[in-house]
Amino acid sequence: MWATTLVVVALWEHHGGVQDLVASPAEAITSLGRLTALVSSNLLLLQVLAMARIPVVERSLGQDRLARWHRVLGFTSITLLLAHLVLTTLGWSLLDGVALWSELWSLVTTAPGMLLAAAGTALLVLVGVTSARFARRRLRYESWHLLHLYAYLGVGLALPHQLWTGEDFLASTAATVYWWSLYAAALGAVLVHRVAAPLRLSLRHRLTVSHVREEAPGIVTMHLTGRRLDELAVLPGQFFVWRFRTGPGWTRGHPYSLSAAPTTEGLRITLGTRGDDGDRLRRVAPGTPVLLEGPYGRLTPEVRRRRGLVLLGNGLGVAPLMSLLDDAARTGVLDPRRGGRPATLVRRVRDLGPQPFAAELDALTRAGLVEVVDLVGPRSTTGTAWLPAHLGHVTGPEAARLLVPDAAGCDVYVCGSATWADALAADLRHAGVPRDALHVERFS
């Protein structure tokens, strides 16, 4: 991100950007308008690349981290885009000696590609506004998802304006090659990794829903079968983006982790049904075809290096942890006869009502393979945020040391909502868990 930003700043300087800053007020404002446009365009395209599901990028950074970058890059690029609009209009109005609104109207209606650019800007601003927290909480997931897709159209509509009238895009062969290459990389990554690869994966394995059962109030477990599942390159703890062919609304993708170790007989996911799309998913019928995209996630057995295993999850963050626990039990990692020791599963739950995976955990507990610790109750408002209220007097690092007494000898997996996971991870590190032993995935 920083390297490409330096590249576009260098291209702007090479085309006289710095000289224009000291030429006159009008040229200085116009030059700053060019600079904000270049950086904004660069960040918009990096934003597309960040969420294009490029395997090497996803494995290196993780989807939760990429999602946070996507959000920051998005709001920054849209802010710079609006700054470009204001600065450029103001600069040209001073150069032409006309009123600001007259100059804006002239630019939009006469400059090549500006009408398309204006439409693209409006779409990007719409995406930005509806992605703000205050608006996102009020929108149904289906509505937000549809509006969010307009970002691709907004980026595409800006291209003709940049190539027809953007001086810095055409100032040199290097600039032209850079911008065409970045646009081509963004478009190619989306077509390959968001369209072609998922379609190939879905056609190859042809997953269908086998059956659906209720785990707990508002939670169901879905079993899926398919072809050639022995060739499906997925690890316990990973997730796919699922699309269930149920009729209207099937195009909306939902990221769900595996809640059991994958086998040649099928896959299992566990999901909540209280969200916007929950009722449709709860009523998915056996035999429903499924499209999948992935797998994603770095919360896998491959990163484990130590004998001890501690898993901490809140809400349905427990689902991928169950997949890891299931795999450890199946492969004998927890068997004391092979030098293993029981795992610890810490669940952050709001009440003592029915919990998912109860039967499996009971069986693993009876076999001496896992110890379950429940942190029950509403969130603490006076003490450590990841603990329940009745434990608010316990400091975060102290609680972490109690839950993970052998910090140096355990791999610790954390999965849950971003705020909860970040607070817990910070206290675990403070309690002595090494960074290479702490594996965190956030629901963003």
Expressed as residue numbers, the domain containing 306 is 301-443
- Residue 313 near residue 439 (C-beta atoms within 8 A): no
Question: What is the spatial distance between Cα 384 and Cα 396, in angstroms, rounded to a whole number?
Answer: 5
124 with 147, same domain: the answer is: yes
**Chain centre distance of CA 255:** 9
Instruction: Give the bridge partners for 266, in sequence order.
Output: 263
What is residue 58's predicted lDDT score, i.e. its pLDDT?
81
Q: Which two tokens stand for residue 372?
A: 């379950």
What is residue 177's predicted lDDT score, i.e. its pLDDT?
86
> Which of 177, 199, 221 is at the close of a domain?
199
What is residue 166's predicted lDDT score, i.e. its pLDDT?
67
306 with 287, same domain: the answer is: no
For residue 65, with 0-12 CB atoms within 10 Å meaning exposed, 13-18 middle and 19 or more buried, which class applies?
Answer: middle
126 with 13, same domain: the answer is: yes
424 with 373, same domain: the answer is: yes
Residues in the chain: 444
189 with 44, same domain: the answer is: yes
What is residue 344's predicted lDDT score, i.e. its pLDDT?
93
176 with 37, same domain: the answer is: yes
- Residue 411 near residue 439 (C-beta atoms within 8 A): yes
> Which of 199, 234, 254 is at the close of a domain?
199
The backbone torsions φ and ψ at residue 107, rounded to the nearest 5 degrees and listed phi first, read: -65, -45
Side-chain half-sphere CA neighbours of 100 within 13 A:
8
What is the domain count for the chain? Answer: 3
Question: What is the spatial distance between Cα 196 and Cα 240, in angstroms, rounded to a whole number?
Answer: 15
What is residue 165's predicted lDDT score, i.e. its pLDDT?
67
- Residue 421 near residue 441 (C-beta atoms within 8 A): yes
What DSSP string describes 280-335?
Answer: HHHTPPTT-BEEEEEEE-S-SGGG--SSEEEEEEEGGGHHHHHHHHHHHHHTTTT-
What is residue 444's predicted lDDT score, i.e. its pLDDT?
66
306 with 177, same domain: the answer is: no
Question: What is the spatial distance between Cα 141 and Cα 145, in angstroms, rounded to a whole number?
Answer: 6
* Cα–Cα distances in angstroms (integers) from residue 76 to residues 1, 289, 369, in the given order: 13, 39, 48
DSSP-based three-state secondary structure for 337? helix
45 with 140, same domain: the answer is: yes
178 with 317, same domain: the answer is: no
Q: Collect the ranges in the chain with pLDDT lower than 50.
A: none
24 with 161, same domain: the answer is: yes
CATH of the domain at 414: 3.40.50.80
Q: Which two tokens stand for residue 140?
A: 């149904």
105 with 233, same domain: the answer is: no
CATH of the domain at 231: 2.40.30.10
* Cα–Cα distances in angstroms (integers) from residue 163 to residues 94, 114, 175, 331, 417, in the given order: 24, 11, 11, 57, 42
What DSSP string describes 145-192?
Answer: HHHHTHHHHHHHHHHHHHHHH-HHHHSSHHHHHHHHHHHHHHHHHIII
167 with 181, same domain: the answer is: yes
> Which of 153, 175, 199 is at the close of a domain?
199
